[in-house]
Amino acid sequence: MKKIFLLSTLSLAAALLVFSQQERSVDMVIPLKLGERPAIAIPDFRGSGDAQKHMVLFNNTLQSEIENAGVFKMVSKSMMPRSNPQVPQDFKESARGTGMALSDWASAPVDANYLAFGYTGIQNNQLVLFAWLYNVKQPANPQVIGKLYFGTSDDKGAQQVAREFAADILKLLGIEGLAGSKIYFVSNRSGEKQIWVMDHDGSNQHVFAPYKQLCTMPSVSPDGSKLAFTMFSPAPIIMMHATESGRKLPFFNPRGSMNAQLTFSGDGSKVVFASQVGGFAQIHVANPDGSALQRLSNTRAVEVEPKINPKTGADIVFVSGRGGPQQIYKMNIDGADVQRLTPGEGQASNPAWHPNGKHIAFSWTRGFEPGNFNVFVMDVTTRDYVQLTHGRGRNENPTWAPDGRHIVFASNRGGQMQIYTMLADGTNVRQLTNSGRNEMPVWSK
């Protein structure tokens, strides 16, 4: 079945279409599952002469850029033939079994859809990458990319040409990389909990809003321009900051002992948050400065963590104790038509919309004692779900990367709570923080 889908580059788009049509079944709720992703083989590139000095870094960079995007299944190097072509002229169907035949890569055990190959050399003091991407299942016309890339003749240049080649490969599948995206999070590494920020790969970690009071529960506007968080002053209040300047923005906190957990609508025109009224935290909607406040829920139960559907703006998921232990519910933007999404088992929390407005990631204690959360993804329409982490301590606060393919979350699997990223199928888990206690990540453009 799968092979038939992927016989041509064109059919790749068709394959993606088929995935989305099949999302009804439980194991297909994640937009891109490992099994359905095209396989890519990237044998090590070699450099001629002095260029070889930089090739370890080049190969590592190319490999990890493609792997981290999460759109390809990586062919293990142990499955690859002994030798591989370095230029298109190397292919000889007569050399079958050596790696020099296109069919060696298209058939078992390699079973790749794509093969990336090429080499580097130094010309006029520049590092030149000669790179090709072949669709090996399409022997009549296999070339998808054949291009020269130029960089400085050092490690930096090698890294640069590897990234450019990787970006071209990813663009084939319509993937913009995560470069430039940021992760806001809470860290106590300098004493009190504060809002910190880092690049998507964990580099460049620094404090965003240095307050003396405990700050937590950050959220970012969809355009990345505003950051809201909850500060204990001493009662919890909402704080709003501009991300670029770091400047505090006006926000009118309603009267009451608790205002917290503000999040933004997809177009940034509305905010929702939890505010205590009548003795219970309830869901409210307001303008981004806190004006035009409107109460949306009216129960005698704790109701928190509202999140507006980023795609439609028409519905809100939130957490409520109205039926007993905390569960995830959905309602219309006007508060009507409340439905429980999680089945009532265990405790569920931290719903986070996928950018497509169809799926949520959330944390749930299903199958474990209270407090032992795992990350799940649910199709909000069908309520089918899949479990992405499996009982290794607390796994909480999943939020999606702008690419919709990665999830950042917090876990204490290593003892202390730390920030991790993973692909939306639970693979490729990477730890981004290791100093102090780090939690509540949100991924921003």
Contact positions toward other proteins, by CB under 8 A?
193, 214, 216-217, 230, 232, 234-236, 257-258, 260-261, 274, 276, 279-281, 302-305, 319, 321, 325-326, 347, 349-350, 363, 370-371, 373, 396, 439-440
Residue closer to other proteins by CB (options 68, 261) is 261
Instruction: Between 32 and 186, name the residue whose CB sits nearer to other proteins.
Output: 186
Q: Please give the Cα distance from 357 to 308 (Å, whole number).
A: 9
CB of 134 to other proteins, least distance (A): 48
Q: At its nearest, how many Å lie between other proteins and the CB of residue 300?
A: 10
Q: Which is nearer to other proteins, 243 or 276 (CB)?
A: 276
Q: State how far Cα 79 lies from the chain centre.
A: 28
246 or 325: whose CB is closer to other proteins? 325
Nearest to other proteins of 53, 366 (CB atom): 366
For other proteins, the closer CB: 303 or 379:
303
Least separation in angstroms between residue 23's CB and other proteins is 27
Torsion-angle region of 19 (φ positive above 0: left; ψ -120 to 50: alpha; else: beta): alpha
How near is the Cβ of 328 to other proteins at its closest, in Å? 11
In the bound state with other proteins, the residue whose beta carbon lies nearer, of 120 and 275, is: 275
Q: Shortest Cβ distance from residue 276 to other proteins (Å)?
A: 5
CB 214 within 8 A of CB 193: yes
Closer to other proteins by CB, 252 or 280: give it: 280
We find the least distance from the C-beta atom of residue 342 to other proteins, in angstroms, to be 13
State in angstroms the smallest separation of the CB of 285 from other proteins: 17
> Could you tell me the smallest distance in angstroms from the CB atom of residue 301 to other proteins?
9
Residue closer to other proteins, measured from CB, 319 or 422? 319
CB of 222 to other proteins, least distance (A): 20
**Token pair recorded at residue 214:** 């405990």
Least spacing, CB of residue 317 vs other proteins, in Å: 13
Of 59 and 374, CB closest to other proteins: 374
Three state DSSP letters for the chain: CHHHHCCCHHHHHHHHHHHHHCCCCHHHCCCCCHHHCCEEECCCCEECHHHHHHHHHHHHHHHHHHHHHCCCEECCHHHCCCCCCCCHHHCCHHHCCCCCCHHHHHCCCCCCCEEEEEEEEEECCEEEEEEEEEECCCCCCCEEEEEEEEEECCHHHHHHHHHHHHHHHHHCCCCCCCCCCEEEEEECCCCCCEEEEEECCCCCCEEEECCCCCEEEEEECCCCCEEEEEEECCCEEEEEEECCCCCEECCCCCCCCCEEEEEECCCCCCEEEEEEECCEEEEEEECCCCCCCEECCCCCCCEEEEEECCCCCCEEEEEECCCCCCEEEEEECCCCCCEECCCCCCCEEEEEECCCCCEEEEEECCCCCCCCCEEEEEECCCCCEEECCCCCCCEEEEEECCCCCEEEEEECCCCCCEEEEEECCCCCCEECCCCCCEEEEEEEC
